[in-house]
Structure 1
Amino acid sequence: MKSKILVGLQFFIIFLMILPLGTPTKHLSAGLMILMLGIITGLLAVKEHKRGNFNIRPDIKENCELVTKGIYAYIRHPMYLSVLLSMLGVTVIYFTYYEFVLYSLLLVTLLVKLLYEESLWQCHNPAYATYMQKTKRLIPFVF
């Protein structure tokens, strides 16, 4: 149930963020570059998954495998980073206080989702503790 609420909240916030409520700012190029970086990060993450291993909810799927290669060798949650970068790009393009507040809510939601997912992985797979020691959560070499 917690997973469904977190995913629902995530998509609701993203929906509100992409509503055309503002006009593009003078930072359109920077926003588009950040947005593209987010999309590329997401594609790199999806590339490493075997068919049926990817899950949008933080729940651990039956027979899933821990992915530790490619972008996952550096960060544990590249899909969350992908969402955060993409929506940061949207925030830069359509910067308003409304967008900033929504981005902050999205960040908090994804951090809660990330921590919940990590707690599930630690219970599900003993190798996850070792993987956590070798990688960062979202930002390579930083966090």
Structure 2
Amino acid sequence: MKIALQTLASMVVGFVFFGLALFWPAGTFDYWQAWVFIAVFIIGTLGPSIYLMVKMPDALRRRMRAGPFAETRMVQKVIIAATILSVAAVLVISAFDHRFEWSTVATPVVVVGNVLVWTGLTVAQIVVIQNNYAGATITVEDDQRLVSTGLYGLVRHPMYLGTLIMMIGTPLALDSYWGLLSIVPALLILAARIDDEEKMLKQQLPGYNQYTSKVRYRLVPYVW
């Protein structure tokens, strides 16, 4: 019951966050792209969350233990705080773009954006199912084992790959091309998180050094 209430509370907080970051700068509730985006996001997370609640409650608890204060490393506290600001920037800039019509995104492209958002969310949820220890904070637990199969056989940080896909789709789903520019600092922040995370994993997770030799790419196959 407790985890169900926490999940519900998390979704309510997320809805309020999206509402403030989108409708306030847009200056109107008549912003159908934002409503569709929020619906896609909520539905895309609700189903997997219910599955994890029933089948893998420990994994769901790890996913819900998030935010700067949940991190154990100071550099990650800073990075997560910067990440939250960068996400807000993507939403706010996209909403302002919609309001002042700096750019116009055709409806088919908005649909593509929502498909990317859904795909990114799905990839992230699959990662949690494949790796019960894939939490929202960077820690290595005593009984944690290395996972090198599934999506982890493609890149070393598949959850962040899902995040990247979702980041690219978000401005398009929100009727904005200018919002894509705000992804650049978000990518730099994501790269910094990966770099610091790998330093810790090489020190604390047995077999990780050998894994990096086997799976060469961190985030995007054949790129980085």
Tell me the TM-score range normalised by the shorter chain. Answer: 0.7 to 0.9
Higher helix share: 2
Give the Cα–Cα distance (whole angstroms) in 2 for the partners of residues 116 and 44 of structure 1: 23
Could you say which residue in structure 2 is the equivalent of 1:22? 97
Could you say which residue in structure 1 is the equivalent of 2:117? 35
Residues 115-140 of structure 1: CA deviation (Å, up to 9, x unaligned): 11111111113411111122121123
Task: State the shift of 1:65 in Å.
Answer: 2.6
Query: Which deviates more from structure 2 when the two are superposed, residues 32-41 or residues 16-25?
Result: 16-25
Per the alignment, do residues 83 and 76 of structure 1 end up closer, same or farther by CA in structure 2, a change over 3 Å counting? Answer: same
Note if contact 1:77-1:138 (Cα within 8 Å) is conserved in structure 2.
yes
TM-score (norm 2): 0.56
Could you say which residue in structure 1 is the equivalent of 2:187? 107
Note if contact 1:31-1:91 (Cα within 8 Å) is conserved in structure 2.
yes
Give the Cα–Cα distance (whole angstroms) in 2 for the partners of residues 61 and 22 of structure 1: 44
Note if contact 1:3-1:59 (Cα within 8 Å) is conserved in structure 2.
no
Could you say which residue in structure 1 is the equivalent of 2:220? 139
TM-score (norm 1): 0.85
Note if contact 2:145-2:205 (Cα within 8 Å) is conserved in structure 1.
no
Residues 40-69 of structure 1: CA deviation (Å, up to 9, x unaligned): 21121111122xx23223343444332222
**Secondary structure, aligned partner of 1:22:** helix
Q: Does 2:127 match 1:45?
A: yes
**Secondary structure, aligned partner of 1:111:** helix
Amino acid at match of 2:161: L
Partner residue of 2:202 out of 122, 126, 140 = 122
Q: Does 2:177 match 1:86?
A: no
What is the RMSD computed on CA atoms of the aligned residues? 2.0
**% same residue:** 21
The structure, 1 or 2, with the larger RCO (C-alpha pairs under 8 Å, 6+ apart) is: 1
Query: Which deviates more from structure 2 when the two are superposed, residues 64-73 or residues 3-12?
Result: 64-73
Note if contact 2:86-2:186 (Cα within 8 Å) is conserved in structure 1.
yes
Amino acid at match of 1:5: V
Gaps of 5+ in 1: none
Query: How many pairs were matched up?
Result: 140
Could you say which residue in structure 1 is the equivalent of 2:25? none
